[in-house]
Amino acid sequence: MPLLKSWVASANDANHPFPLNNLPYGVFSVEGDDPRCGVAIGDMILDMQAAEEAGLVQLADAPLFDVPYWNDLMEEGPAVWAALRDRLTALLSEGAAEQDKVEPLLVPAADAELHMPFAVSEYTDFYAGKNHAFNVGTMFRGPENALPPNWLHIPIGYNGRASSVVVSGTDVRRPWGQLKGPNDDGPRWAPCARFDIELEMGAIVGTPSDGPITVQEADDNIFGYVLLNDWSARDIQAWEYQPLGPFQAKATANTISPWIVTKPALEPFRCDTPEREVELLDHLKDCGPMLYDIDLEVTLAPEGKAATTIARTNYKEMYYSAAQQLAHHTTSGCPMNAGDLLGSGTISGPVKESRGSLLELSWGGKEPLTLDSGEERSFIADGDTLTLKGAAKGDGYTIGFGDCTGTVLPALEDPYAR
């Protein structure tokens, strides 16, 4: 599919992340006004509440855009999702008959503050990137036992905290926790010293389900995707995760990009999951291309200094797709809700420069990274800003998500000191 031309001139730039082919959904405010739903087009944002009130968008009997989140639209289902995309395309295409009515409803993105684009119902994080799982397993168990016995059969995951999900630009506070090093007699109470990121994609469930669904049904139920940074306290995790897995180490924050990129925008970039080493059971088998060719990168900027790109990889490196993760999630009969968020797990490629976490990039701290500033990092320092970026390159256009950024603040003074 080539670039679709818009009367919003900036949307026709081949390198702009928000062309007419994209039309991502977010929530914005201007000059202290209440947050409201918006659609990004070039360097402008279409005010969806105003468009609905003006009668330019009519999708349901009741208003869908008088609230500061996209969940109400999600609950209307795929037919309404498609109708909205068709209507937005018609309104914003070059030569649109209603351009004069739409133009006053556009807000410069530079003047807008972005907010959480949807209300997160539940949050689940997976461990579904093989390169990452192999690297981490090798560090702790050696290459011969790197992958757990179940890893090639099911997408492993854990239930996280929806309350921990924040939008890009939100500062992240270094957590305290129980730490126990290999030479410690017992645990001690201290700020995390091995704070890390995980480069992930987040899939947003749009259509609820109340029982097991197939991989194809799961794919149909996904509303869209965001970038996701799963901030991880590695030293807290090392002490607490046995036998039940991550808990406080993963509860500090999960940062998402501010724009939901819908599945139709990503259709041209579908690709297959990697070749299977072990045949999956029927209910998890691939039923077509379910991954996406999306270039990803991570930058790290020390306080007051320029950013260094520390990793580049691609979403197609995942071993399990979001549809397989969602289908697996439902196998027990677990109900899924509109607004559920599924983290992909860390997306790492096969070479060092494509590893999606500092744990891997520094190989557990044994091989520190040298930044462009000359400083070294094994893990994140206070004041560092980490940014995730993602883009799919089409025929004369780019599909972007907006940056997924967070700055790490120093730990609070001991909250239990008296």
Catalytically active residues are 132
Q: Which residue is listed with tokens 């560092």?
A: 384
- Are the CB atoms for 128 and 120 separated by under 8 Å? no
Q: Which residues contact 18 (CB under 8 A, 6 or more apart)?
A: 11, 24, 40, 41, 42, 43, 259, 400
357-371 in b/e form (b: 16+ CB < 10 A) is: bbbbbbbbeeeebeb
State the Cα torsion 334-340-345-347 to the nearest 10°: 140
Question: Which burial class, exposed, middle or buried, applies to 303 when counting CB atoms under 10 A from its CB (0-12, 13-18, 19+)?
Answer: exposed
Q: How many residues does the chain have?
A: 418
Pairing of strands 172-173, 404-409: parallel
Max Cα distance, the chain (Å): 74
- Residue 262, sorted as left (phi over 0), alpha (psi -120 to 50) or beta, turns out to be beta
**Closest alpha carbon to 14 in 401, 389, 392:** 392
Question: Which burial class, exposed, middle or buried, applies to 353 when counting CB atoms under 10 A from its CB (0-12, 13-18, 19+)?
Answer: exposed
Residue 366 to residues 139, 257, 363, Cα–Cα distance (Å): 11, 31, 6
**d(C-alpha 156, C-alpha 154), whole Å:** 6
Q: Which residues contact 57 (CB under 8 A, 6 or more apart)?
A: 48, 51, 65, 84, 87, 88, 91
Task: Give the distance, in angstroms, between the CA of residue 316 and the centroid of all CA atoms in the same chain.
Answer: 14
Q: Which residues contact 187 (CB under 8 A, 6 or more apart)?
A: 178, 179, 180, 239
Residue 389's φ and ψ, nearest 5 degrees, are: -130, 150
